[in-house]
């Protein structure tokens, strides 16, 4: 191995090599942080909402007739939807996970305005809510028909006194208790209205994907009975897409004086919720790829220039006994050393940049393994980039050594 002489030669002729090492360092720093952001966004996007996303869709109905008996209309709609072939269940509710709009309030373990509460997303549902969303009730019981009341939007909710919460919310309220053991405990809403926890769900995300408490949700047994009704429908597997236009048509035909609209599958709602994240990932992948390509071209350019500048030196080395493989190895090693300076500097810059971004933008710190993986990736990129010029160098004839020009 000629690492020592190559390193000493690099040090003595460092200006052009420093530039390429800096370029590699910048690529490394940006690559590591971009990958970290991509990883964080991907992790966020892959979180389960806790619902049967593949089979759920929503449709809403808007009526404008003040003489309409909305509660009767909703009840009749629900009966019709639940009886539709291919429908597994349906519920009228205020929102869905990932919809980016919903209802939240504080829930407290002690009554009173002085006590601090924990925010929770609220879904108003009837006894079909758990099944329609495909939720996993891990403790306690579901609502019964008699638990459910109508929600008068003009008067605001009259809290029915029974709620089902997610495990994350149970742990938030009672950190010392197992989630299942919170069944039967009392919490307070609107500061001092007691509600009893009758069930615990394994998981149901809040409508806001970026909310720190996204896993904290609560089902309240109330049905909304006004002009606006959001129906969430769970289809039997394989029926979702064909059911959407059929249910739309059926609802529209049942009452021609209303607007039936807003059909969207949970898959679409998820895609819409994470549109920016998805675009960000694509942008970062593009930027990292572009940077890597530019760095590769930089390495190719420098190595080609270096080979052209040192043609006589290469011929001399060949004359002194270097086989082609030794010349190839020389340039590969030289690039490895330049890349090493770049990736090590880049790793330091990457960590510093990440520490700043964690503080400034509240990002997750980079996973430790991203740095060695990025180093190896950039080493490989460097070796691939330098291979062509290095191979050309190895083909230089030893007879070049005796040429006087």
- Under the rule (CB under 8 A), what is the footprint of other proteins? 2, 4-5, 8-10, 12-13, 312-313, 316-326, 397-399, 401-402, 404
**Of the two residues 244 and 338, which places its CB atom closer to other proteins in the complex?**
338
**Of the two residues 146 and 404, which places its CB atom closer to other proteins in the complex?**
404
DSSP bridge pairs for 219: 123, 164
Going by DSSP bridges, is the β-strand pair 193-201/162-166 parallel, antiparallel, or unpaired? parallel
**Of the two residues 66 and 321, which places its CB atom closer to other proteins in the complex?**
321
**Of the two residues 8 and 178, which places its CB atom closer to other proteins in the complex?**
8
**Of the two residues 41 and 312, which places its CB atom closer to other proteins in the complex?**
312
Minimum CB distance to other proteins, residue 309 (Å) = 11
259 φ, ψ to 5°?
A: -105, 125
Minimum CB distance to other proteins, residue 402 (Å) = 5
Minimum CB distance to other proteins, residue 341 (Å) = 16
Minimum CB distance to other proteins, residue 296 (Å) = 25
**Of the two residues 153 and 398, which places its CB atom closer to other proteins in the complex?**
398
Minimum CB distance to other proteins, residue 11 (Å) = 9
Minimum CB distance to other proteins, residue 389 (Å) = 18
287 φ, ψ to 5°?
A: -65, -45
Minimum CB distance to other proteins, residue 327 (Å) = 10
**Of the two residues 39 and 316, which places its CB atom closer to other proteins in the complex?**
316
Q: Judge whether 184 and 225 are in contact, CB under 8 Å.
A: no
């Amino acid at each position: 191995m000629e690492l020592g002489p190559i390193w000493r030669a690099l040090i003595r002729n460092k200006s052009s090599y420093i530039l390429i090492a800096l370029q590699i360092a910048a690529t490394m720093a940006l690559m590591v942080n971009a990958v970290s952001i991509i990883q964080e966004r991907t992790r966020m996007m892959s979180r389960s909402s806790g619902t049967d996303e593949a089979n759920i869709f929503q449709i809403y109905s808007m009526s404008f007739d003040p003489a309409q008996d909305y509660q009767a209309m909703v009840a009749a709609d629900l009966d019709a939807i639940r009886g539709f072939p291919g429908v597994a269940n349906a519920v009228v509710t205020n929102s869905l996970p990932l919809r980016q709009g919903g209802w939240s309030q504080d829930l407290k373990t002690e009554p009173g305005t002085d006590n601090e509460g924990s925010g929770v997303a609220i879904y108003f549902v009837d006894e079909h809510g758990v099944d329609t969303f495909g939720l996993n009730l891990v403790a306690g019981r579901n609502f019964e028909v008699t638990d459910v009341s109508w929600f008068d939007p003009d008067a605001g909710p009259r809290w029915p006194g029974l709620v089902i919460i997610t495990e994350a919310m149970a742990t938030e309220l009672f950190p010392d208790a197992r989630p299942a053991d919170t069944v039967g405990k009392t919490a307070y809403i609107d500061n001092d209205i007691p509600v009893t926890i009758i069930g615990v769900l394994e998981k149901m995300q809040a409508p806001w994907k970026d909310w720190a408490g996204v896993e904290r949700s609560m089902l309240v047994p109330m049905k909304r009975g006004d002009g606006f009704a959001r129906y969430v429908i769970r289809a039997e597997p394989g029926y979702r897409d064909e059911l959407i236009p059929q249910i739309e048509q059926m609802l529209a035909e049942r009452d021609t004086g209303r607007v039936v609209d807003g059909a969207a599958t949970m898959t679409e709602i998820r895609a819409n919720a994470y549109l920016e994240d998805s675009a960000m990932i694509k942008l970062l992948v593009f930027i990292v790829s572009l940077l890597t390509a530019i760095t590769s071209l930089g390495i190719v350019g420098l190595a080609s220039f270096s080979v052209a500048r040192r043609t006589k030196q290469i011929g001399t080395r060949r004359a002194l006994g270097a086989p082609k493989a030794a010349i190839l190895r020389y340039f590969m090693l030289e690039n490895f050393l330049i890349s090493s300076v770049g990736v090590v500097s880049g790793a330091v810059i990457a960590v510093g940049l990440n520490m700043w971004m964690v503080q400034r933008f509240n990002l997750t710190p980079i996973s430790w393994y991203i740095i060695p993986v990025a180093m190896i990736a950039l080493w490989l990129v460097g070796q691939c980039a330098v291979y062509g010029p290095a191979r050309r160098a190895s083909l230089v004839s030893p007879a070049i050594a005796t040429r006087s020009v």
